[in-house]
């Protein structure tokens, strides 16, 4: 075979990536740009966005300094992608957050911040971009969920685990609603991978080591993740290879959920 494998060919596809200056978002932007996708990169971090766009292969990628906090924001993100590329073929929601705290110490405002970033924002983005997918008769949505949507943990994750479980519900429900329009909705379920949220777990100090001693026996492949570990499944979920896959949370977790 010469040229890209048609099963995994995403060249020319217009793909929106939110949280683009975060660890998953940056890796996604680099992976998709290297495969010829035309990107709309969305981030609240203007400096990070500019550095990312300058480093990317390909050109013509659009950038927008914004977070998907409101329906207006989500609409502006959809408008920017249409203005830059004329269509939207894929949405990757790589924005999200966590505020670990035991329930007794967690404020309702902190709870709401996590739910807004991890559930409301993906819903708003789908609401704004959905009409474009429906008009085209195709589209691919990829959320970033977590093993924490399926497994509880005593680390002060009442908001985070609940938000990811809700995101899994959104994945399945929207997949059923949008299936007739040939729009695929799936989520990636990682365990811990290296990012701003988890950098402390990769250190050499006692707290990091203790955390790894606790986590690694649960991971059959014996290590924590890197953003690059998640890029194969991302390309699959945006490419023709996944045309008959929808409503799934696909765990890429070193086997964590197998045990």
Ligand X SMILES: NC(=O)c1ccc[n+]([C@@H]2O[C@H](COP(=O)([O-])OP(=O)(O)OC[C@H]3O[C@@H](n4cnc5c(N)ncnc54)[C@H](OP(=O)(O)O)[C@@H]3O)[C@@H](O)[C@H]2O)c1
Active site residues: 160
Q: Which helix (H) or strand (E) holds 41?
A: strand 38-43
Span near ligand X by CB under 6 A; candidates 80-88, 89-97, 127-135, 170-178? 89-97
By CB under 6 A, name the one of 10, 13, 16, 24 that touches ligand X.
Answer: 24
By CB under 6 A, name the one of 20, 166, 238, 239 that touches ligand X.
Answer: 20
By CB under 6 A, name the one of 38, 61, 67, 85 that touches ligand X.
Answer: 67
Residues 103 to 122 in contact with ligand X, rule: CB under 6 A: 113, 117, 121
Inter-residue contact 58 to 30 (CB < 8 Å): no
Q: What is the C-alpha separation between 7 and 247, in angstroms, rounded?
A: 20
Q: Is 54 or 244 the residue whose CB approaches ligand X more closely?
A: 54
Which residues make Cβ contacts (< 8 Å) with residue 242, sequence separation at least 6? 140, 184, 186, 236
Q: What is the C-alpha separation between 186 and 99, in angstroms, rounded?
A: 25
Q: What is the C-alpha separation between 139 and 132, in angstroms, rounded?
A: 8
By CB under 6 A, name the one of 9, 45, 71, 115 that touches ligand X.
Answer: 45
Q: Which helix (H) or strand (E) holds 183?
A: strand 183-190
Residue 95 makes contact with ligand X by CB under 6 A = yes
Chain positions contacting ligand X, by CB under 6 A: 19-25, 43-45, 67, 94-97, 113, 117, 121, 144, 146, 190, 192-193, 195-198
């Amino acid at each position: 075979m010469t040229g890209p494998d048609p099963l995994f060919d995403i060249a020319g596809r217009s793909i929106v990536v939110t949280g683009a200056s975060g660890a998953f978002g940056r890796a996604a932007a680099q992976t998709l740009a290297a495969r010829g996708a035309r990107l709309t990169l969305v981030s609240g971090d203007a400096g990070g966005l500019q550095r990312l766009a300058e480093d990317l292969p390909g050109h013509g990628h659009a950038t927008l300094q914004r977070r998907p906090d409101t329906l207006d924001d989500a609409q502006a993100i959809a408008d920017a992608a249409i203005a830059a590329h004329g269509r939207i073929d894929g949405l990757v929601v790589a924005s999200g957050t966590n505020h670990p705290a035991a329930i007794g110490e967690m404020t309702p405002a902190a709870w709401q911040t996590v739910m807004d970033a991890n559930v409301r924002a993906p819903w708003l983005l789908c609401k704004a971009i959905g009409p474009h997918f429906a008009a085209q008769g195709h589209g691919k949505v990829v959320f970033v969920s977590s093993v924490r949507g399926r497994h509880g943990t005593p680390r002060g994750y009442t908001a985070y685990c609940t938000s990811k479980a809700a995101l899994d519900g959104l994945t399945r429900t929207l997949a059923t609603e949008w299936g007739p329009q040939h729009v695929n909705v799936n989520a990636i379920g990682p365990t811990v991978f290296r990012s701003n949220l988890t950098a402390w777990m990769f250190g050499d100090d006692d707290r990091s080591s203790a955390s790894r001693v606790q986590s690694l026996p649960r991971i059959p492949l014996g290590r924590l993740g890197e953003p690059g570990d998640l890029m194969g499944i991302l390309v699959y979920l945006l490419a023709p290879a996944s045309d008959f896959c929808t409503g799934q949370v696909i765990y890429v977790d070193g086997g964590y959920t197998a045990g």
